[in-house]
Every structure is written in structure tokens, then in C-alpha cells.
Amino acid sequence: MSSISNDIRDYLQPHIHEMTNKQISLVESASKCRLPGLAMALIDMFSSPNSYTEMTFEDRMEKCLNGQLDAISKSRFARMYRNSGLPRKVYLSSIRPRSEAGVTPDLLRKLTELNYLEAGANIIFMGPNGVGKSTLAIAAAVQAITRGHSVLYYSMNQFSMMLESMNSADYIKLLKKMKSAKLCILDDWGMAHLSDIIILRLAELAEARYGTCSTVFTTQLQRHALGNIAEKESPALSSLKDRLFRPSDIYVTLSGASLRGTAGEIIGEKQ
């Protein structure tokens, strides 16, 4: 069984005495072909044959193939989540509506259905510290990944420093990377004024993503002040605001007491 992957070996071990050598060989072949979902479905059927006696051959094949499809989906999610840079997992299904604080059932429905992604609309979560802005943004990102959309997450402070120090070649690579990401999260927008080079590069990034990708912002700024991120007005800043904060975008004002360290903040870390 040296060719069986560790995950499949661990799954097989409690059942190995219930299976024939031929059955174990089939599991090993599935593992060699890098079909872990199929291998585990075979283990289930071989170790509990009485549970499948009434199933047709076609039904058994369907179970095996569905097991492999499920494994592919889980593997894809793990890879996309890892590449996203998200600091943690939060699932929308774990977030309770709090209409009085701005977390309405309609908002959760929009984040779940992802129609805003298809429209290339942005979402701006506004409110003071601790009211759940980042939690909602991260949950929206996890939902997008679950549906197969690529996501990138950046803390705005770190993103600004990266843009400031990046050479031209690295910036072009970032431009390409962000253009291919269906959803980008910019956490803590507007914490400090930005330099001219950062504004210029942000404007270029916004132009590259305009109309085909979405950005979710979290910010303590109010809607009328979202563009107050530079010492003075400039053509690049005007272009940036025009592409990021449009009347058709989704503006959500959150309120209430801080959730820091409470069950309301940490609920649903795992699904």
C-alpha cells in the first residue's frame, strides 16, 4: 500500500480487514490516478456491502463519481482560499441578521446570491470599529470562493505600502493578478492619506477591473468622505473615485456596540 496517499491510507486502515485483496488493489489504483474521492467511495462500498445491495450498478457508479467531484470541489476551495490571503474563514450561513445594526436579511441574501459579482458592482461596508465590517467582507469572499470565483484580500495599510515600494515589473504582475481576481477585499479604506504614486496606481488598478470585477471595502469613513484619501484633488484621484464609488454600488452602514471578543464576532468561524 506504499502508493496510497496518507489521507486515503488513514481512511482505509479501520476497514482494511473487511476488504479483499482485489478491493484494496482497486483503492490503490484510484489513489495512483489521484482520484481520492473515488477511492474513499470505494472503501465505503467495499467495507459495508450490505448497505449497497439494493443499488444498481449505475447508482454505485454515480456515488463514486459524486465522491470524486466532491473531493475536487474541496481541493479547489482549499487552494483558492490559500491563494486569497484571507486572514480567516467566516461563512455567511453563520451570520445572524441584525437589522437594527444594518445586517439585514436582504443584505445577506445579496451576499449569498452573488448577483453583484455578475454586475461588477462594489460593496462598501461603513461604520465604526468593531461592528462587523471585516467579518461581513470576509464572509462575502468565502462565499465567492465557494462558488468558484477567485478572490484577493488586502489590508489597506499593507496594500498601500506595497504599492509605494513596488518596482515597475512587480507592479505590472500585480496589475495582471488583480485584473483576473473576480473579487478583491480592501480592508480599512481611508485610514490615512495616500501619496500621489499610490493614488495613480490605485486608479490604474480600478480601471483594469472596472465593470468586470467587484471590490468590497470596509471603512470608518462616511459615504460623502470616501474619496478623502489624499492631501489634494488630482485627475488620478477623480478617476479613482469615479470607478470605485458609483451610485449603482452597494453602500451598507453598520452600527451598534463593538462585537470585539464577543460571541457575535467569532460565531461561525467554521461551517
The 10s digit of each residue's pLDDT in 150-163 is 999 999 999 999 99
Domain locations along the chain: 6-82, 85-266
Q: At what angle do helices 196-209 and 156-165 cross, to 10 degrees?
A: 110
Beta strands at 183-189 and 151-155: parallel, antiparallel or unpaired: parallel
Pick the CATH number of 85-266 from 2.60.40.1930, 3.40.50.300, 3.40.50.2000, 2.60.120.10: 3.40.50.300
The C-alpha atoms of residue 122 and residue 201 are separated, in whole angstroms, by 19
Kind plus residue range of the DSSP H or E element containing 177: helix 168-180
pTM equals 0.82
187-230 pLDDT, tens digit per residue, is 999 999 999 999 999 999 999 999 999 999 999 999 999 999 99
pLDDT in tens, 92-102: 999 999 999 99
Cβ–Cβ < 8 Å for 113, 184? no
φ and ψ at residue 188, rounded to 5 degrees:
70, 55
Other CB atoms within 10 A of residue 3 CB? 10
CA distance 134 to 131: 9
Tell me the C-alpha to C-alpha distance, in Å, between residue 25 and each of 33, 66, 158.
Answer: 12, 21, 51
